[in-house]
């Protein structure tokens, strides 16, 4: 893996504003141009779904104060892999944040937490249902402290009959039906290679918070934003969940093939596999032309999507025979040049390097001075309010003094 380019590494607090945009200021001193500059997030979330959401908000300029237990976020111990003794899992979802360690069962630390809520625009938590109420930090209590607070709460299976089920991504992959779709017909169900529904829920949480912030800008009203992993999973399964809800069909495992399109799968070439994705009839005609088998596209058994699906076994043999005449790299070059959707199958390192070859600069340095951590670039580019990578993922409690002093200042202002 190559290191970030000098341009990417330069993105940060000292980068000049483009187009005359005035930099926003993090309430704890970080300067930036992100669209959420000035928004304060009290982040009581742990592990993945909540931290991923708050990292996205932090990248966009929000001041995110990460409240950790005295032992830190669990993901600090999720190793290997590691970088300089730190878990890469934690580093992946916690840049641009400030860390303060609090024992929420200690009255003094609990008072600090309440002070933080009073000074925040957004609060997010993913504790087991009922825990925040027992601490006096649930939405009702938070709204008393800060009536216009936006309070995002993430659970695994909701706050009703599923409240007792732990919110682990793997449980949701199993219970949602997603694992029943993953793998070949003759294999056992498989989980996705990532905590897929934690990530999707994190995205939904960020979207929900942004929607609530817009409503607050219009009305001055805060609100409770509730999410659960199972609902996010069912939404994220899109056509597969709709197959049952709308069509009354229970989808089954099909390996790497698509239930509604063909060819849309890995294809065997002369030296390996290549993904070929044909989304419509016109693309199939062009594919057959590029493969020098135009007569196949005219065959009534393959001319239309429905017929190709019905005769996919026969069509697969024809395509594989033609693709076997050249390497995957050669076909990727030729089919791409013809404007046909295809892609090599690579490992994660190859994926990062491929993005670099395309000029997407996937790796950016987060932090400054002696602590700069290579991280994956924020996925959204803003032409007027660019994100920055000013802060490396925080060491445990590293911003305690800074946060506490700011809260004392806020308290003094409130009583002035």
Residue 317 is a catalytic residue: no
- Catalytic member of 26, 43, 138, 198: 198
Structure tokens at 276: 């070929």
Q: Are 233 and 173 in contact (CB under 8 A)?
A: yes
Strand partners, 364: 375
Structure tokens at 210: 């942004």
Residue 314: CB atoms within 10 Å: 12
Q: Are 36 and 63 in contact (CB under 8 A)?
A: no
The Cα 120–Cα 40 span in angstroms is 5
Strand partners, 125: 44, 153
Taking CA atoms, 281 is separated from 225, 278, 301, 342, in Å, by 43, 8, 12, 16
User: CA-based Rg of the chain, rounded to a whole angstrom?
Assistant: 25
Of 42, 8, 7, nearest to 374 by C-alpha is: 8
Of 139, 152, 148, nearest to 222 by C-alpha is: 148
Residue with tokens 């202002």: 413
CA angle 366, 371, 376 (to 5 degrees): 25
H helices of 93-195, where? 107-118, 131-135, 139-145, 169-175
Residue with tokens 């409503």: 215
Helices (H) then strands (E): counts for the chain: 17, 15
Q: Are 365 and 83 in contact (CB under 8 A)?
A: no
* Active-site annotation, residues: 198
């Amino acid at each position: 893996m190559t290191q970030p380019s000098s341009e990417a590494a330069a993105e940060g607090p000292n980068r000049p504003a483009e187009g005359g945009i005035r930099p926003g200021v993090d309430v704890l001193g970080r300067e930036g141009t992100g669209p959420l500059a000035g928004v304060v997030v009290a982040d009581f979330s742990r592990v993945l779904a909540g931290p991923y959401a708050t990292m996205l908000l932090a990248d966009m300029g929000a001041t995110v104060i990460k409240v950790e237990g005295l032992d830190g976020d669990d993901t600090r111990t999720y190793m290997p892999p590691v970088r300089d003794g730190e878990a890469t899992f934690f580093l992946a979802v916690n840049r641009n944040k400030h860390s303060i360690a609090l024992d929420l069962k200690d009255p003094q630390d609990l008072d600090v937490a309440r002070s933080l809520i009073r000074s925040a625009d957004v609060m997010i938590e993913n504790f087991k249902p009922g825990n925040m109420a027992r601490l006096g930090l649930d939405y009702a209590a938070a709204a008393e402290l800060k009536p216009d607070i936006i309070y995002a709460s993430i659970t695994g299976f909701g706050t009703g009959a599923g409240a007792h089920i732990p919110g682990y991504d793997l449980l949701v992959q199993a219970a949602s039906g997603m694992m029943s779709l993953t793998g070949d017909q003759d294999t056992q169900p498989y989980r996705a290679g990532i905590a897929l529904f934690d990530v999707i829920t994190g995205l939904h949480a960020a979207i929900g918070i942004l929607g609530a912030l817009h409503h607050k800008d219009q009305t001055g009203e805060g609100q409770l934003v509730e999410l659960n992993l199972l609902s996010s999973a069912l939404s994220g399964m899109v056509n597969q969940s709709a197959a049952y809800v709308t069509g009354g069909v229970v989808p089954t495992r099909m390996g790497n093939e698509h239930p509604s399109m063909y060819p849309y799968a890995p294809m065997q070439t002369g030296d390996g596999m290549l993904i070929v994705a044909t989304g419509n009839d016109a693309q199939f005609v062009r594919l057959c032309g590029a493969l020098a088998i135009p007569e196949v596209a005219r065959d009534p058994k393959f001319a239309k999507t429905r017929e190709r699906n019905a005769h996919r076994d026969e069509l697969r043999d024809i395509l594989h025979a033609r693709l076997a005449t050249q390497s995957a790299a050669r076909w990727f070059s030729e089919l791409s040049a013809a404007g046909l959707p295809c892609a090599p199958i690579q490992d994660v390192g190859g994926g990062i390097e491929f993005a670099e070859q395309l000029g997407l600069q996937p790796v950016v340095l987060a932090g400054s001075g002696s602590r700069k951590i290579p991280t994956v670039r924020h996925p959204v580019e803003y032409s007027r309010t660019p994100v920055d990578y000013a802060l490396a993922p925080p060491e445990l409690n590293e911003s305690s003094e800074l946060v506490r002093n700011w809260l004392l200042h806020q308290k003094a202002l409130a009583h002035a």
